[in-house]
Structure 1
Amino acid sequence: MILWTFYVTILLTLFAGYMSKKLVKDSKDFLIGGGRLGTVGVTSMLMGAIIGGASTVGTSQMAFERGLGAIWFTLGLSISSIVLYFFYGKLTEKKEFMTVTGVIGKFFGDRAKTAACTVLCLGMFIHINGQVLASVSIFSSVLDFDIHISALIVCALIGGYVIFGGFWGGTIVGGIKTVLLYSTSIVCGMYLLFEYDFIPLAAMSFSPDPWFNPFSNGFLKDLSLPISTVLGVTCTQIYFQSVMSARDKHVLKRSCLLTAFMIPPIGLVCTMIGMYMRTVSPDIAARDAFVLFVTNNTHPVVAGLSIAAVLISSVATGAGLALGITTICSRDVISPMFPSRSDSQSIRSMRIMIAIIISAIYFIVVSNDNSMILSWGFLSMIFRATPVFVPVLVALYFPDSISRRHESIYVIIGPILSIAWILLGLDNISSIYVGILGSLSYAFLRAKTKKSKSAQTNTCM
């Protein structure tokens, strides 16, 4: 019964992703759903892209290892949804930009845009690996598939969800995924609270520190997790596309608030699952905690739907990230080189790029199948946040302070400082702080220098 429910749900969702190609009439439809989506559509895409395997399987894995501290990732995602509105809301009406790197290109120049494209795409590419690893753990736990077969199926599903319909495929699959994930999370939470008495069991089984201490790894280090998540989401292309897909600013506001409200319960249930499995099956692999809980402790139909929902979550997020990389490469790299491309040629080239990205992901995943799922997510946040957040912040809110001299340094200084910090092993302070503060300091110094030169020029005149 579990497998039948699982297979049917996956096939129906895959069919929905395939049929979404009928909604694609031009490249704008493929990239942002025509920029005319309502609240349901934008919320579906945001939930589809934001809640993935790192938020579900990865959260349960971390909760199995360290307890309540695992909630930070989904809490950061919830806050991110609100930040997206305040950060980009004013861009929704004009639809002037299709990519977040396009914002950097307009205000800082082509060299800065090229640097941002490179580092941001690397960050999104890294994050896809975490989503595929989360999906692979489902196949290995439930079906006992070999890593090569599991990764191949997952990568094929990612392609099926987004190659045909692009943004529309992500929106439709995201809507299905949201209904499945939210309903099964509620049911699993009820099982834990009323069937297995989770609260008294956890109180008896775990010591307050570290299991109930959200800052068990240190205040600054743990706080860096939601901060890096917020910054990473704000700077990731697929979430920018989701913002640009909204019909107007009011639609975006409702969608962001609704998404922020819906995320925390999912993270809380996944955290409870990880901690519960630690008490009853401490010898299992941590990444299998979620799947083993639903298969062994819930009704077969609930188990099948839950596993399918988590798999779709990982696949949909991975598909959205792949679409984001493709959008940046197509709009900011290929289009300037071939300005006379037709819409059909543009869509065809984007589909080919998605296939190439997914193929590369497959070979990386089969070589790193034992790595921590959330580690990929947090690492990717560094490469997504540090090169983009400060330049976009300055471009949107302090454009007069921008100096066009050495403009690419605005983009690369943050990642360079973060990587150097990691290589030096100075993990007492998170590298995300170092990268962002370094980028902010450089922007401030450039603004101050520009202001001083302007003052000198005015004095001479």
Structure 2
Amino acid sequence: MELTLGHIIGLTLTILLVIGSGLYSARTVTSAEGYSLGGRSAGTALVAGSIAGTVIGGGATVGTAQMAYSLGLSAWWFTLGSGIGFIIMGLFYARPLRRTGLETIPQYLVANYGKTAGPLVSVISSLGILLSAVASCLPGIQLIAALFHLGPWPAALLLMLLVAAYVFFGGIKSAGVAGMLKMVIIWLTLLAAGGTAWLALREMPAFALQFPDFPWLSLWGHGFWAGLGNLFSLIVGIMCTQTYIQSIFSAADSRTAAAGAFVAALIVIPVGLPSIAIGMFMHATHPAMLPILVLPGYLLQYQPAWLGGIGLAGILLSLIGSIAGLTLGIGTMLSRDICAELFQVKSSQTLLWINRGIILLVMGLACLIAVAHLQSQVLLWNYLSMALRGGGVFLPLTLAIFAPGRLPGSWALASMAISTLAAILAATVFPVPIDPLFIGLAVSAGIILAGLISKRWQAGHGSAGKAHCRS
């Protein structure tokens, strides 16, 4: 993968424009709340930019092309499922969450289930989000290494520096502004590149033989239950991801929060299709290529140099923005819900720098894990991440939003802890042919049901006892 002067100019100018805009917007950020929520004044475009700028990362671009190279249309589940998740968020979750005036998911659960819920949910959510950051670090390191002929460690260091420039100073405001610009770049370059790939596929004389309808042109080509599991894991994972909820909290009002989620869905759903066309074209023309480099390889070989350079910058920025948004979510939770409570931090400035420090540490850890697993599938990390985030938190969070006060705090805590452990064990120690998310949700539902029955039974016996005493 050799860069020409045209590639280098397009790549450099685009990255400088996007990151420079984010740094410029950071000049007004001086407090911890301004860093994590942008002063709760974000409009629809900024909310949508923050959400889409985070979800469109390694999985939505490089990972989708990588999976399409082997499986075809079923690689669309990541962006399709994410978009459906944001529609559901806009319809049911955005307004009640924004009306609370809170900052993190753990704060919401603390208000419903007690103080112990804060640290527990912070750790559970942070572990899940970390795996999504790894999913964007993997192609980021591979791409930087291939483009600039670096080893994995120097490439990881350069990636960390770019992510730090993207989010370290301005927080969610930088991520939102840069995210909007990044979306325009990705949409235009991928639309042009995917269009030429699709036209080339249509003109292939042996297209039907090379790509039979099943599995290549079926959403269920990877298996019906696998597709359904991927869709459900994305919907559940999105509802439990601090970064997306944080964008909702940053909105000027509840109506803006819902509109931002809907706009993000419109941006995200179609963005996977060009990557799928490119992945299938490269499968037909370059069957021996390293799958993770399919998308950048196509941009270098089959697009004009200036457009290829801008497209490469868009891919890099999608990875950088995703890592930035995810690590910002972890930093906000751990600084607010653990460090502030544990060390009794009251100063907004101190909290701001704790948040920034955690972001740097999380970036380093994500890059370390990625370097140790460079040959793994990007989307596998994303789906596992969604399972860990959603398996323990989704049902208690949903119950707290739509039926507050129904579930006793002790049962909610047991549900979150035990179901998350069950999902982890199902994914690692005792692998089963069922998505770990479903294991976690089943355990969570069982414990919650027992808690609801127990509360009703105690209420019934308490009423009976009082009546007996009166008689």
Could you state the TM-score of these two structures normalised by the residue count of structure 1? 0.95
Once the 2 structures are TM-superposed, how far is the Cα of residue 359 of structure 1 from its aligned partner? 2.2
Equivalent-residue separation in structure 1 for 2:314 and 2:336 (angstroms): 32
Equivalent residue in structure 1 for 2:380, among 375, 381, 393? 375
Q: Stretches of 4+ moved more than 6 A in 1?
A: none
Equivalent-residue separation in structure 2 for 1:297 and 1:201 (angstroms): 21
Once the 2 structures are TM-superposed, how far is the Cα of residue 91 of structure 1 from its aligned partner? 3.1
CA RMSD of aligned residues (A): 1.8
**Matched letter for residue 296 of structure 2:** V
Partner of 2:228: 223
Once the 2 structures are TM-superposed, how far is the Cα of residue 223 of structure 1 from its aligned partner? 0.9
Q: Give CA deviations for 1:154-186 in whole Å, capped at 9, x if unaligned.
A: 111111111100111111110111110111122
Structure 2 contact 54–322 (Cα < 8 Å) conserved? yes
Partner of 2:391: 386
Structure 2 contact 98–253 (Cα < 8 Å) conserved? yes
Equivalent-residue separation in structure 1 for 2:278 and 2:34 (angstroms): 39
Q: Give CA deviations for 1:88-115 in whole Å, capped at 9, x if unaligned.
A: 3233553432101111112112223222
Which stretch has the larger CA shift, 137-146 or 352-361?
137-146
**Matched letter for residue 136 of structure 1:** I
Partner of 2:259: 254
Equivalent-residue separation in structure 1 for 2:98 and 2:360 (angstroms): 32
Matched, 1:179 2:192: no
Structure 2 contact 339–345 (Cα < 8 Å) conserved? no
Equivalent-residue separation in structure 1 for 2:221 and 2:367 (angstroms): 35
Equivalent residue in structure 1 for 2:135, among 110, 123, 130? 130
Once the 2 structures are TM-superposed, how far is the Cα of residue 137 of structure 1 from its aligned partner? 2.4
Equivalent residue in structure 1 for 2:240, among 220, 235, 238? 235
Which stretch has the larger CA shift, 70-79 or 338-347?
338-347
> In the superposition, relative to structure 1, how do residues 406 and 257 fare at CA in structure 2: closer, same or farther (>3 Å)?
closer
> In the superposition, relative to structure 1, how do residues 427 and 268 fare at CA in structure 2: closer, same or farther (>3 Å)?
farther
Matched, 1:161 2:176: no
Partner of 1:67: 72
Structure 1 contact 22–165 (Cα < 8 Å) conserved? yes
Once the 2 structures are TM-superposed, how far is the Cα of residue 392 of structure 1 from its aligned partner? 0.4
Structure 1 contact 120–387 (Cα < 8 Å) conserved? no
Equivalent residue in structure 1 for 2:194, among 189, 196, 205? 189
Partner of 1:412: 417
Partner of 1:143: 148
Partner of 1:332: 337
Once the 2 structures are TM-superposed, how far is the Cα of residue 410 of structure 1 from its aligned partner? 1.8
- SS of the equivalent of 1:110 reads coil
Structure 2 contact 59–135 (Cα < 8 Å) conserved? yes
Q: Give the gaps of 5 or more residues in structure 2.
A: 1-5, 467-471
Structure 2 contact 129–326 (Cα < 8 Å) conserved? yes
Structure 1 contact 16–173 (Cα < 8 Å) conserved? yes
Q: Give CA deviations for 1:299-347 in whole Å, capped at 9, x if unaligned.
A: 1111111111111011101001111011001111111234453211111
**Matched letter for residue 23 of structure 2:** Y
Once the 2 structures are TM-superposed, how far is the Cα of residue 427 of structure 1 from its aligned partner? 3.6
Equivalent-residue separation in structure 2 for 1:293 and 1:93 (angstroms): 42
**Matched letter for residue 280 of structure 1:** T
Structure 1 contact 229–381 (Cα < 8 Å) conserved? yes
> In the superposition, relative to structure 1, how do residues 423 and 238 fare at CA in structure 2: closer, same or farther (>3 Å)?
closer
Which stretch has the larger CA shift, 406-415 or 77-86?
406-415
Once the 2 structures are TM-superposed, how far is the Cα of residue 430 of structure 1 from its aligned partner? 1.5
Equivalent-residue separation in structure 2 for 1:111 and 1:41 (angstroms): 33
Partner of 1:352: 357
Q: Give CA deviations for 1:106-150 in whole Å, capped at 9, x if unaligned.
A: 211222322211111111111111111121222233333221221
Structure 1 contact 93–249 (Cα < 8 Å) conserved? yes
Partner of 1:440: 445
Equivalent residue in structure 2 for 1:36, among 41, 46, 54? 41
How many residues were matched structurally? 461
Structure 1 contact 92–246 (Cα < 8 Å) conserved? no
Once the 2 structures are TM-superposed, how far is the Cα of residue 361 of structure 1 from its aligned partner? 2.5
Structure 1 contact 142–291 (Cα < 8 Å) conserved? no
Equivalent-residue separation in structure 2 for 1:417 and 1:365 (angstroms): 24
Partner of 1:264: 269
> In the superposition, relative to structure 1, how do residues 214 and 96 fare at CA in structure 2: closer, same or farther (>3 Å)?
same
Matched, 1:79 2:84: yes
Structure 1 contact 92–248 (Cα < 8 Å) conserved? no
Equivalent-residue separation in structure 2 for 1:19 and 1:343 (angstroms): 22
Q: Give CA deviations for 1:1-31 in whole Å, capped at 9, x if unaligned.
A: 0122111211222222222221213222101
Structure 2 contact 388–424 (Cα < 8 Å) conserved? no
Equivalent-residue separation in structure 2 for 1:199 and 1:382 (angstroms): 39
